[in-house]
Chains A and B, each alone.
Chain A
Amino acid sequence: MTEPVTIKGTSEGLIITLGSGPFETVLGEMEERLASRASFFRGGRVALRVGDRSMSVEQLQAIGAILERLGMSLWAVDGDHPATHAAARELQLEVDLRPGVPPAAVSSEPVSLEEMAGLVVRRTLRSGQAVHYPGHVTLIGDVNPGAEIVAGGDIIVWGRLKGNAHAGAMGDEQAVICALQMQPNQIRIGSHIARAPDRTWRPKAPEKASIQDGLIVVERWKKSE
């Protein structure tokens, strides 16, 4: 028996695959899974894979409502049943996932961080801007106060990190955050939070934040590592 719900991140957004089982069970499972990582998934767009399950307009609307409440939006539904197609069209949703989505990203095996392509962002994130990505994120530029990066893996900022960064957002406590100039308002790794000291300071060298003995520790980046 397949898992009732699998959730995968791709560069095109989230792909949620509904497995077998009664609709209500699957719906409940999906909501629970998403809600437990709500801050990570927030702002994401979702493509739904339903296989040969027949979906009604009401069912798709129910899913859409849950996603919306969690700050996500449904943009596509992929399924084999003609009724599913009709319902999706009626709701003006795409019925084909973008051809750009590699098949590996939608296989039934969860993609590990190592296999997932990293994301490189070459610009400065200004206040109010955010990058959410399930894998590692490298940003070439600055992260200004009020901007945030949320990554499933590590975060490397080739520039000044002055906003917020959350590495290992899906629970990976081994994740690290590196920055040429580490002056964040707040950093989070896994379920841990550290905030900036209230005094102003200016680090003189690149630094790395990681979890050591259950605490986020920021230290100067050393060549030996």
Chain B
Amino acid sequence: MPATIVTITSGKGGVGKTTVTANLAMALAMLGKRVLAVDTDIGLRNLDVVLGLENRIVYDLVDVVEGRCRLRQALIRDKRLSELFLLPAAQTRDKSAVNPEQMVRLCDQLRPEFDFVMIDSPAGIEQGYRNAVAPADRVLIVTTPEVSAVRDADRIVGLVEAGEKGPPKLIINRLNPAMVRREQMLSTVDVVEILAIDLIGVVPEDPAVIVSSNRGNPVSLDGKSPSGQAFRNIAGRLLGQDIPIMPVKESANVLDRLSRFLRG
């Protein structure tokens, strides 16, 4: 089973790359796939925290690349799903500790072992980004419906296309339907129109995401939350399932409903 290598990137920081990586990896593993999540944000690692696996790190990506341990020794098995693994980044080093060729070689070693390798990219377009994208078969670009994030996403689309990686797919994160309705936020249609790439999912703004990230329990484990469902749907689409992108429902916020009522 040669793995598909999927890189999650965005250009802009803080739009949810790590959250998306953690949740898609988890959702794919819940669908029975053997998945490895790789953190390439050397020096600013977070994926381990979001997955709740920080205290299990013994070796990391840089140890593997520099030959201080075998690849298998650095893989951390998830505490909930036996088919999910993490390869953490080093924290006391920086992006220059690894180069794109080493990432390609590493991923070639991983290919026979997994169905999916999900690579969490650092923000930016420098070496960290290049390390993350070099081995990718598919690239997912995360943006929020904000002008600045979309601008950076556009820059990344250009870079990915120039790198002959095939067309990247788009994830719109933290969409707030009430704000879209009040025309205070870009809509899905607006974002897709600007970027002109295929949409693979829309994740609604959801406080459950913050709570779950803080607790190290990705929200895709939560059967009830709307964002968890959105992540599971994206995982299904990655597997080629034909799942329509559902319109994001407005939450039943009392103030919103009241203001709508008052305005008629």
Residues of A within 8 A of B (CB): 38-39, 42-43, 69-71, 127-130, 145-146, 148, 185-186, 193, 195-196, 198
Contacts and interface: CB of A to CB of B under 8 A. Distances in A.
A129 B92 contact: yes
B70 interface: no
16 contacts: A42-B68, A43-B92, A69-B66, A70-B66, A70-B68, A127-B91, A128-B91, A129-B92, A145-B54, A185-B57, A186-B55, A195-B55, A196-B55, A198-B52, A198-B55, A198-B216
A143 B68 CA distance: 25
Contacts of B44: 128
Contacts of A195: 55-56
B240 to A, nearest CB: 35
Contacts of B68: 38-39, 42, 70-71
A195 B55 CA distance: 6
B196 interface: no
When A and B form their complex, which 6 residue pairs have the shortest distance between CB atoms, in order from nearest?
A195-B55, A196-B55, A185-B55, A130-B92, A146-B91, A128-B91
B67 interface: yes
Contacts of B55: 185-186, 195-196, 198
B100 to A, nearest CB: 19
Given A43-B92, A186-B55, A193-B58, A128 B66 contact: no
B43 interface: yes
Nearest to A146: B91
B58 A128 contact: no
Q: Is the interface of B mostly helix, strand, loop or mixed?
A: loop
B28 to A, nearest CB: 23
Contacts of A38: 68
Interface in B56-104: 56-58, 66-68, 79, 91-92
A129 B92 CA distance: 6
B9 to A, nearest CB: 22
Given A39-B68, A43-B92, A146-B91, A128 B43 contact: yes
Contacts of A69: 66-67
Given A69-B66, A69-B67, A198-B79, A128 B57 contact: no
B66 A71 contact: yes
From B44, B55, B67, B79, residue with most partner A Cβ within 10 Å: B55
B66 A185 contact: no
A60 to B, nearest CB: 21
Contacts of A43: 92
Nearest to B92: A130
From A38, A130, A146, residue with most partner B Cβ within 10 Å: A146
Contacts of B45: 146
Contacts of A70: 66, 68
Contacts of A42: 68
Contact of B92 (A145, A148, A185, A193): A148
From A128, A148, A186, A198, residue with most partner B Cβ within 10 Å: A128
Contacts of A198: 52, 55, 79, 216
Given A148-B92, A186-B55, A195-B56, 9 more contacts: A39-B68, A69-B66, A70-B66, A70-B68, A71-B66, A128-B44, A185-B55, A196-B55, A198-B79
